[in-house]
Amino acid sequence: MKVIIVGGVAGGASCAARLRRLDERVEILMVERGPYVSYANCGLPYYVGGIIEKESSLLVADANTFRSQFAVDVRTGCEAVGISPDKKTIDLRNVATGEVTTESYDKLVLSPGAPSVRPPLPGIDLPGIFQLRTVPDARAIREWIEQGSLFLSGMDRYSGFQTVRPKTRAVVVGGGFIGLETAENLVHRRFEVTLVEMLDQVLAPLDPEMARLIEAYVEQHGMRLALNDGVAGFKPAANGAVDVLTKSGKTYPADIVILALGVRPDTVLAKKAGLTIGDLGGIRVDDQMRTSHPDIFAVGDAFEVRDFVTGEWSLIALAGPANRQGRIAADVIAGRESRFRGSQGTSIIGLFNGAAAWTGASEKTLNRIGDTDFEKIYLYPNSHAGYYPGAKPIAMKVLFRKSDGRLLGAQALGEDNVDKRVSALAMALQMGATVYDLEEAELCYAPQFGSAKDPVNFAGMVAADVLRGDMPLSHWDSAEKAFLLDVRDPVELAVEQAPGAVNIPLGQLRAHLGELPRDREILVICRSGQRAYSATRILLQKGFKARTLAGGMLSRAQVETFWEN
Ligand SMILES: Cc1cc2nc3c(=O)[nH]c(=O)nc-3n(C[C@H](O)[C@H](O)[C@H](O)COP(=O)(O)OP(=O)(O)OC[C@H]3O[C@@H](n4cnc5c(N)ncnc54)[C@H](O)[C@@H]3O)c2cc1C
């Protein structure tokens, strides 16, 4: 059997390696348009920032490794330009010479990825404007940064030497994870960085109130954000700089511009071959990675996946799913019964000393599809036992089914061990766990690592309290009409007050019950929701109608007070 794989990075390379491990007899040809296979595109922003010093570190396995260890015929600088599914042939063009040859296949795997979106804006091809997808892209950015301005700004008055104005201003267009990661790395390289984003938030998969925390954090670390503003075009400016013009009429001068406007599935070949393309513009496959043609498979960023939670078609460009899909395609070609479970979009981004991570559905996705059978909680547990040095709060939002407690999604951010909480939640979600399972999860604990009630347990306990009726819950959007009871200590009110709330600190509540109404619902507030829960329990047991305000003052976008901890 002869298998041809188009695209030699995440999905393609993992497919080739897995297929060889499963079958020594199969003939494998992997073609890659670019100069490298199996490179670490996830590391590119850190190469730009200089954290990864050597370009060679990005090359995880080179073509020779594939040839010698896996007996894969690797052709770099080789572009697939046409497929004849009926004849089972593929046309390959040598990028250097232009020569086109035709190869036959028994099975074909497409893993062409998703190139960066590059809209035809005026001036987009000016020098100094870059995108970041490949090693040559990253190299070009580093060279531009390190060589100084190409344009000389004149003679120094005193020394008579020519002076070069250093590059100091960067504009990053797009607030997704590639844009933010690259922006952070440019901050590390001492650029004044402005990030321009068309939406009213960064990191679109997050719900806006969680994104606000990240926005405040990156601003505290020196990044400027221009949200709600799209780029309209670019104009050359003095000394080789570029003026970035936005739709709101603003101009941002820049010595370097990074375009990170998202990615779009590469379906050029798939369309030529007549394969079915989905409504979102990705190649359609079944759960065994088979396209509409039984001998052609597609993996990675180029195809539409089923969202694991909502069941909707979705475009998810992530390295983990691409690698798993590559393995599954190899399994199926080798005669195994593997199936892809759909993608949860589990992601993490590191920013300065912190991280934001998420898995599963967001509240806005559930709202968009009209799903009303869900509840949300906010919690702000410490990353490990508060008495052990270095504990940091984690802001968590967890979504679950009201009807059966099934976990639907989670978002978390903070400066310590966010990843392990979201990874645990991601695994739980994939296993169909409920919030009752999270309550019972037995997780690692010693004071430097966690708490006897780990944040994951804690999330389960809070959510289960809500579902069992022990903690009726409310949210800020219904706070206006209710009787608000603030159970924080008076000293905390100096930082911020809940408008219109009556303050009775938790410790004094039992003595002041006579001051509270019995004919109205009482909404109980504290800083994070924990004391409000205790107060709610007192009130409910004393016959009051009471609800805890989820996440307390912190869920009211108290961004500064969260990060101050
Ligand atoms: C800067 C950056 C940072 C990222 N960081 C993360 C991260 O932290 N975490 C994460 O999960 N994901 C991250 N990703 C996304 C992740 O890299 C992708 O999801 C993953 O690489 C997709 O794998 P793929 O095989 O579908 O496509 P790719 O890895 O993009 O590989 C596709 C390859 O196919 C080649 N190709 C296309 N068409 C042809 C053709 N006709 N003939 C021959 N070759 C062709 C292309 O040249 C390309 O090299 C990042 C991506 C980028 C660009």
Distance 323 CA to ligand 1 centre (A): 10
Q: Quote the tokens at residue 312.
A: 């909707």
Active site residue 42: no
Tell me the CA–centroid distance for residue 40 and ligand 1, in Å.
9
3-state secondary structure at position 129: strand
Nearest CA residue ID for atom 23, ligand 1: 10
Strand-strand pairing, 169-173 and 162-164: unpaired
- Atom index in ligand 1 nearest the CA of residue 34 equals 47
What does each C-alpha distance from 553 to 209, 236, 392, 479 come to in angstroms?
Answer: 12, 47, 18, 12
Contact 329, 376 (CB under 8 A): no
Q: Smallest Cα–Cα separation from 118: which of 36, 231, 6, 268?
A: 231
Residue type, 120: P
Handedness of CA 80, 273, 270, 285 (dihedral sign): negative
Record the tokens describing residue 536, joined without a space.
């709610």
Pairing of strands 162-164, 347-351: unpaired
Distance CA 431, CA 449 (A): 24
Measured from the CB, is residue 31 less than 6 Å from ligand 1?
Answer: yes
> Which atom of ligand 1 lies at the shortest distance from residue 11's CA?
25
Identify the residue whose C-alpha is closest to ligand 1 atom 35: 7
- The CB of 33 under 6 Å from ligand 1? The reply is yes
Q: How far away, in angstroms, is 113 Cα from ligand 1 center? A: 5
Closest atom, ligand 1, to C-alpha of 300? 26
The two structure tokens encoding residue 196: 């321009």
In three-state form (DSSP H/G/I as H, E/B as E, the rest C), the secondary structure along 184-196 is HHHHHCCCEEEEE
108 CA distance to ligand 1 middle (Å): 18
Q: Which amino acid is at 43?
A: G
Which of 4, 9, 135 for mutating ligand 1's site (highest number of atoms within 8 Å of CB)? Answer: 9
Radius of gyration of the chain (CA): 27
Q: How far apart are CA 207 and CA 225, in angstroms?
A: 18
498 CB within 6 A, ligand 1? no
* Residue of 42, 78, 444, 526 with catalytic role: 526
pLDDT (tens, 9 = 90+) of the chain, 565 residues, equals 999 999 999 999 999 999 999 999 999 999 999 999 999 999 999 999 999 999 999 998 899 999 999 999 999 999 999 999 999 999 999 999 999 999 999 999 999 999 999 999 999 999 999 999 999 999 999 999 987 544 444 555 556 555 555 669 999 999 999 999 999 999 999 999 999 999 999 999 999 999 999 999 999 999 999 999 999 999 999 888 999 999 999 999 999 999 999 999 999 999 999 999 999 999 999 999 999 999 999 999 999 999 999 999 999 999 999 999 999 999 999 999 999 999 999 999 999 999 999 999 999 999 999 999 999 999 999 999 999 999 999 999 999 999 999 999 999 999 999 999 999 999 999 999 999 999 999 999 999 999 999 999 999 999 999 999 999 999 998 887 889 999 999 999 988 888 899 999 999 999 999 999 999 999 999 999 999 999 999 999 999 999 999 999 998 865 556 766 5
What is the spatial distance between Cα 18 and Cα 259, in angstroms, rounded to a whole number?
Answer: 34
Strand 129-131 to 407-414 pairing: unpaired
- Running DSSP on this structure, what letter comes out for residue 187? H
155 token code pair: 């003679």
Contact 85, 273 (CB under 8 A): yes
Residue 112: half-sphere exposure toward Cβ, Cα within 13 Å:
22
Q: Best of 101, 111, 132 to mutate for ligand 1, by most ligand atoms within 8 A of CB?
A: 111
What 496-500 contacts at long range (C-beta under 8 Å, 24+ apart), as own/partner pairs, is: 496/553, 496/558, 496/561, 498/525, 498/553, 498/556
Of 318, 325, 346, 359, best ligand 1 pocket probe by most atoms within 8 Å of the beta carbon? 318
200 burial class (0-12, 13-18, 19+ CB within 10 angstroms)? exposed
422 alpha carbon – ligand 1 mean position (Å): 24
Q: How far is the CA of 233 from the centre of ligand 1 (A)?
A: 27
Q: Going by C-beta distance under 8 Å and a sequence separation of 6 or more, which residues neighbour residue 101?
A: 91, 92, 94
CA angle 223/224/229 to nearest 5° reads 135
Q: Would you say the CB of residue 474 lies under 6 angstroms from ligand 1?
A: no
Residue with tokens 């040598």: 94
DSSP 290: B
Q: Does the beta carbon of 310 lie inside 6 Å of ligand 1? A: no
- Does 318 sit in the ligand 1 pocket, CB within 6 Å? yes
